[in-house]
Amino acid sequence: MPTIATSIDIKVPVKIAYNQWIQFETFPYFMQSVINVKQLDDRHVWWLAQADGHAVEWEAEIVEQVLDDYIAWRSVSGVHNAGVVSFQQVDPHSTRVRLEIEYECEEFVEVASDITDRLERKIVEDLERYRHLLESRKLSGGSWHRQFANRIGLSSRY
C-alpha cells in the first residue's frame, strides 16, 4: 500500500496544535476534499469526502492516542486507510506536525503513482491551511470557528 509522509512547522505550542486536530468535525475547514466528519464516540470517526468527483465514506477507529503527542488510526469500513499524526515541540511556541497516511490503491502502478502524487499535493495544501488556521487564530471556541468560516466563505457550522 502506498504511504504519504509529510510535516509542517506551525507557530503555536503543541497543546494548541493537538487540541485543534482532535476537533475532527472542523476538518472540512482546512481539508478541501473533506465534506463532513462526525465523531461517533471516543474512538470512532465517520468521514465523507470527495475523490475524483465521487463521494466516498469510511469509518476510522483511533487505535492509539497519547495526549499532546500523537494519534494513530485505521479505517474499519469503507475506504481503507491508516496513519498517524504526531506533534513535536520545536520550541515553546512552535510545533512540528508530522502526518503519515497509508491507503489502498487498486489501480495499476502508473495510475497509482499519479494518484499518490495528487494526494500528496492535496495533503500538503491541507496542512498549509491548517497552519494558517492556527497561526491566524485570535479567538477561542465556536466564535473563532464562525469567524474563520465567514472569512474563507464557508457556511458556519458552529
User: What is the Cα–Cα distance from 89 to 120, expressed in whole angstroms?
Assistant: 24
Side chain identity, residue 23: Q
CATH of 3-148, one of 2.60.40.1080, 3.30.530.20, 3.60.110.10, 3.90.400.10: 3.30.530.20
* Residue 132 cell numbers, joined: 494558517
Q: Tell me which H or E stretch contains 15.
A: helix 14-21
**Model confidence pLDDT, tens digit, residues 119-154:** 889 999 999 999 999 999 743 444 444 444 444 444
- Per-residue pLDDT band at 26 (split at 50, 70, 90): very high
If one counts every other C-beta atom within 10 angstroms of the C-beta of residue 142, the result is 11
Judge residue 18's burial from the number of C-beta atoms within 10 Å of its C-beta, 0-12 exposed, 13-18 middle, 19 or more buried: buried
Mean pLDDT of 35-50: 95
Nearest of 122, 75, 81, 116 to residue 101 by alpha carbon:
81
Is residue 116's pLDDT more than 90? Answer: no
Angle in degrees, 0-180, between the axes of helices 14-21 and 109-135, rounded to the nearest 10: 120
Instruction: Name the residue ranges covered by the structural domains of the chain.
Output: 3-148
Instruction: State how far the alpha carbon of 99 is from the alpha carbons of 40, 109, 112, in Å.
Output: 22, 23, 20
Q: Decide if pLDDT at 5 tops 50.
A: yes
- The single-letter DSSP state of residue 155 is P
Does residue 106 surpass a pLDDT of 70? Answer: no
CB under 8 Å to 152, separation ≥6 — which residues? 29
Q: What is the DSSP string of 90-135?
A: EETTEEEEEEEEEE---S-HHHHHHHHHHHHHHHHHHHHHHHHHHH
